[in-house]
Structure 1
Amino acid sequence: MERKSFDELYRDILQQKIDLREPLPPEYDPLHLDCLLHPKNYAPVFQTTQFQNCEEEIKRKCIQSCLFEAIKEEENGKVSIDTEKCTGCGGCIHSCKPEKLQGSRDLLAVMMALWKKKGEAYILAAPAFMGQFGKEVTPGKLRSAFRILGFDGMVEVALFADILTMKEALEFDKHVRKAGDFQMTSCCCPIWISMLRKEKWMDHVPGAVSPMIAAGRVVKRLHPEALTVFIGPCLAKKAEAREADVADAVDYVLTFQEVNDLFEAAKIDPKTLPERGRDHSSRAGRIYARTGGVSEAVTKTVRQLRSDGKSIQVKAEQADGVSDCRKLLERFRKGDSDANFLEGMGCKGGCVGGPKAMLSAKQGTEYVNEYGNAAKVKTPLENPYVMQLMKELGFDTVEALLEDETLFTRNFGKEFSDN
């Protein structure tokens, strides 16, 4: 009997064709079910069937497609994916012609966690969410949709991008004053960070967590038993959420495609729901979702930090997609750039170009820019909600972000962690 595919199992569960309280019917693969119910036990990309039946040329291309050397061939001829090394960049999925690779899906695990939750549950929405579920679906309507599903609230990660913008601007103002110094960012893209680790550039990465991690940590600081679920267009965020030094922040990561699957399965049409409006983020935090957004946000905030007008000029360069990131690093290594601020985005267009987005990068960018322009304030230093939240968390001044060693800091490199 030919077994059904991983996708078929996923869809059949969502359509309630399978009762998980009963033994799994023989036409389905138990490995597929385990991947769906326990995604943290697997890499962000996993094998739906074994590779040993693939032709040698296909196996070789698959191994070579991984920039981070996470795919290797064992002595028995099987190909395996290293859970620790896999960043979830998705390059191997696109290069696998037999389609034996799938991106991790946390949706069923999230549904189970919601049923068993002890405290509150929060959605952490990436800045790229605008327009992903329809032009008419506002942030307030999304909040209503998630309330129906059992979540207690939706937090915009753009608010925490505001805080990280201040932290990166402070780091820039402090460290780039050194002659010949430079800063590499953005902390929001896990693929870029993984590339910098591999190329040993981490001494010039400021010790800042990503906005996703900052949001999760703050929610758990304020609500210790909270379930935190990040939603975004990026498969690599699943890998980032599991990294040992930040695994305390985000319990699960859902892609926008998974969220759309959930809405369809629950027969929820967000655009028909009432508004539950909030407006907490500045333009700076909202535009993190597209290429150039981090550079623009930090540049404007650096200028505002020094009322004496003696701020260091930000000379930024951006890299768009993995190939461009590699080229930028190579040019910089050769001295072919005078930039002092490098922003890398692993996807073309930035986060809006993520592999699990519902829109094209162009459409996503348009929605992000519209939402950014609609913000009541332009930078985090003008944002009263940022200042209010920081005081609640024990930060009496903006400069106190440089002294933080818990909520918003990672020990990426020696230089930028030395305060």
Structure 2
Amino acid sequence: MDYIILTNPEKCVKCISCIRTCEVHANIVKEDFVDIVPEMCVVCGACIRACPENARSYLRQTDIFNEWLKSEKIIAVVAPSYVAHYDEPYKFITALKELGVSAVYEVAFGAELSSLVIAEEIRSGKKVIASPCPTVVNYIKKWFPELVDRLSKAVSPMIAIARYIKKKEPNVKIVFIGPCISKKSEITQVEVKGDTDLALTFEEFDELLKDKKMDLEHLTETHPDGFDTLYGLSYPVVGGLAKTVSYYLQEDLDIVLEKDTVIIDGKENVMKFLEKYSENIKNGRDDMNPVLSEALYCDGGCIGGPGIRKDLEVFEKRRRIIEYTLDNLGTKIRDLAQRIYREIDLTREYIPEKVEYKIPSEAEINSVLKKIGMLKEPLNCGACGYPTCRDRAIAVLNGLMPWDLCIQYQLRKMEEEHKREINKIKEEAIESAQKVITEQMKIAQEIASLLGETVAETKASLLKILNLVMDETRDEK
């Protein structure tokens, strides 16, 4: 399969916006463009939004969906954030049915099932990092493999609902539709491969509707199939997972989850949190780590994902999700969810994919810094996309960037070149002037010899002639 994050070399101008926004250094500067390093990438999509030239995009797969519509039975599982993306969300359900999808389930029921697994892990005394976000999972597997054992073994809500459906209909095609491009990477992971067959974004689905000239405005409303849900509908917003897990722990009075839960969103916050979490374990201070850590890589949670509408503020999307959750709380879902939880395997394992990003010796780092004149007083301006000159030197030694791609170094180089050019021009001007003076003196001497005068006398004569010319000019005026 093609990689998920794509680069168009013809559009890339090497502005390094992608490098500047990437928390995991997953970019390599090539001769004519900046490309993705798949082994390092966590598929967050930040570089797509950061690129001013639209040189970055993600893999579109609506062609597969269209082909399946012709010959396969398809069941769509839609992320709860569809109520934030569409002004009339039930018309979105109708559109799926009119295209030929057999049934449409809300992934929110899968969130109830995942929450039951997480709750049981906490009851057993385990500290868990729980996230429905595949980017967080990718981040831990690649950059914090020592924390893989702390990841909740619960499958994501998307996988949970898919397993439930496929237990009844093993030959059906499950198509996920949501705000996240990283789901495209999740469904290819060997630990869950085959559960969900295709992952599309809302953005892709809107493009498909446009191609088919379908206008949601003219459709009637259809409610999704499947079951009512409880707080699983709130999974797309920050704190939704913790709220749902807390509900399934409410009878365990000895577990006061609210006092031992950390909720993190945003790539920078997630990175800092995991660094501290890992550091606590290494330093024998695991008691400082929370029982439940809910982590979402996008700002605001899934409603801030790269495949959802951009014209609504996060707080408005959050309001829609919360209102929809409160308006649709099921009454009998708890018993049903617990029954299915006992019947289906809702767990998974994680295979670490540690990134080989070497930390060079001090001598190697200093060698690069010396080349660009940043050894004694590094500026750490960040213009190259890396926070410090040292970080950039490490990237250079990992083959991700040419050693001389430093704006400050290039500016100094240009200034020095400019000075050399100016000095060269001055030297040439002086040399030329000296030649002119020499030639003029020769002429002056020749005139003087013809007139039988000295050079000084010739000069006086020339001044007389000049004055006569100037007088004549004034008379003419």
Q: TM-score range by the shorter chain?
A: 0.7 to 0.9
Structure 2: distance between partners of 1:112 and 1:279 = 25
Q: Return the letter of the residue paired with 1:92.
A: C
Structure 2: distance between partners of 1:170 and 1:413 = 22
State the 1:160 CA deviation. 0.7
Task: Tell me what 1:288 maps to.
Answer: 235
8 Å CA contact 2:9, 2:32 repeated in 1: no
Q: Deviations over 1:109-156 (max 9, x none)?
A: 211222242xx201110121114221x333xx4332211111101011
- What SS does structure 2 have at the residue aligned with 1:154? strand
The verdict on how the C-alpha distance between 1:103 and 1:344 changes in structure 2, with shifts beyond 3 A counting, is same
Given the alignment, which residue of 42, 48, 51 partners 1:93?
Answer: 48
Task: Tell me what 1:299 maps to.
Answer: 246
Task: Tell me what 1:217 maps to.
Answer: 163
Q: Deviations over 1:54-111 (max 9, x none)?
A: 45xx35x64564434443356x776543445433211222333443211221122211
8 Å CA contact 1:123, 1:154 repeated in 2: yes
8 Å CA contact 1:47, 1:100 repeated in 2: yes
Structure 2: distance between partners of 1:94 and 1:202 = 29
Task: Tell me what 1:193 maps to.
Answer: 137
8 Å CA contact 1:127, 1:287 repeated in 2: yes
State the 1:192 CA deviation. 1.5
Task: Tell me what 2:28 maps to.
Answer: 72
Task: Tell me what 1:360 maps to.
Answer: 313
Given the alignment, which residue of 335, 350, 372 partners 1:412?
Answer: 350
**Greater CA drift, 369-378 or 254-263:** 369-378
State the 1:347 CA deviation. 0.7
The verdict on how the C-alpha distance between 1:231 and 1:70 changes in structure 2, with shifts beyond 3 A counting, is same
- What SS does structure 1 have at the residue aligned with 2:43? coil
Q: Return the letter of the residue paired with 2:153.
A: G
In the alignment of these two chains, the number of paired residues is: 340
Structure 2: distance between partners of 1:369 and 1:349 = 13
Given the alignment, which residue of 252, 255, 261 partners 1:316?
Answer: 261
Is 1:240 aligned with 2:193?
no
Task: Tell me what 1:273 maps to.
Answer: 220
State the 1:267 CA deviation. 3.1
Given the alignment, which residue of 1, 4, 7 partners 1:47?
Answer: 7
Q: Tell me how large the CA RMSD over aligned residues is.
A: 2.8
8 Å CA contact 2:103, 2:225 repeated in 1: no
State the 1:50 CA deviation. 5.3
State the 1:162 CA deviation. 0.2
Q: Deviations over 1:224-258 (max 9, x none)?
A: 22111111111111111221221211221111111
- What SS does structure 2 have at the residue aligned with 1:208? coil
- What SS does structure 1 have at the residue aligned with 2:263? strand
Given the alignment, which residue of 89, 100, 111 partners 1:137?
Answer: 89
The verdict on how the C-alpha distance between 1:137 and 1:99 changes in structure 2, with shifts beyond 3 A counting, is closer
- What SS does structure 1 have at the residue aligned with 2:250? helix
The verdict on how the C-alpha distance between 1:279 and 1:375 changes in structure 2, with shifts beyond 3 A counting, is farther
- What SS does structure 1 have at the residue aligned with 2:175? strand
- What SS does structure 2 have at the residue aligned with 1:184? strand
Structure 2: distance between partners of 1:189 and 1:268 = 31
The verdict on how the C-alpha distance between 1:77 and 1:215 changes in structure 2, with shifts beyond 3 A counting, is same
Given the alignment, which residue of 116, 120, 145 partners 1:166?
Answer: 116
8 Å CA contact 1:72, 1:81 repeated in 2: yes
The verdict on how the C-alpha distance between 1:196 and 1:247 changes in structure 2, with shifts beyond 3 A counting, is same
Is 1:81 aligned with 2:36?
yes
Structure 2: distance between partners of 1:112 and 1:69 = 37
Structure 2: distance between partners of 1:123 and 1:382 = 21
State the 1:171 CA deviation. 0.4
Q: Give the structure with the higher percent helix.
A: 2
Give aligned-pair identity as a percent. Answer: 25
1:255-266 matches, within 5 Å, as: 255-266=201-212
TM-score (norm 1): 0.73
Gaps of 5+ in 2: 353-477
Structure 2: distance between partners of 1:165 and 1:79 = 40
Structure 1: distance between partners of 2:75 and 2:124 = 35
Task: Tell me what 1:35 maps to.
Answer: none
Q: Deviations over 1:347-401 (max 9, x none)?
A: 11111111221243222211110111112337xx8534424645xxxx36xxxxx
8 Å CA contact 2:78, 2:107 repeated in 1: yes
8 Å CA contact 1:125, 1:232 repeated in 2: yes
Gaps of 5+ in 1: 1-40, 177-181, 397-403, 415-419
The verdict on how the C-alpha distance between 1:194 and 1:284 changes in structure 2, with shifts beyond 3 A counting, is same
Structure 2: distance between partners of 1:388 and 1:143 = 27
8 Å CA contact 1:206, 1:412 repeated in 2: no
8 Å CA contact 1:217, 1:248 repeated in 2: no
The verdict on how the C-alpha distance between 1:338 and 1:82 changes in structure 2, with shifts beyond 3 A counting, is closer
Structure 2: distance between partners of 1:243 and 1:73 = 28
Structure 2: distance between partners of 1:329 and 1:351 = 19
Q: Deviations over 1:2-37 (max 9, x none)?
A: xxxxxxxxxxxxxxxxxxxxxxxxxxxxxxxxxxxx
**Greater CA drift, 252-261 or 329-338:** 329-338
Structure 2: distance between partners of 1:277 and 1:123 = 10
Which structure has the greater CA radius of gyration?
2
The verdict on how the C-alpha distance between 1:411 and 1:338 changes in structure 2, with shifts beyond 3 A counting, is closer
- What SS does structure 1 have at the residue aligned with 2:89? coil
Q: Return the letter of the residue paired with 1:253.
A: A
Structure 2: distance between partners of 1:280 and 1:384 = 12
Structure 1: distance between partners of 2:333 and 2:86 = 30
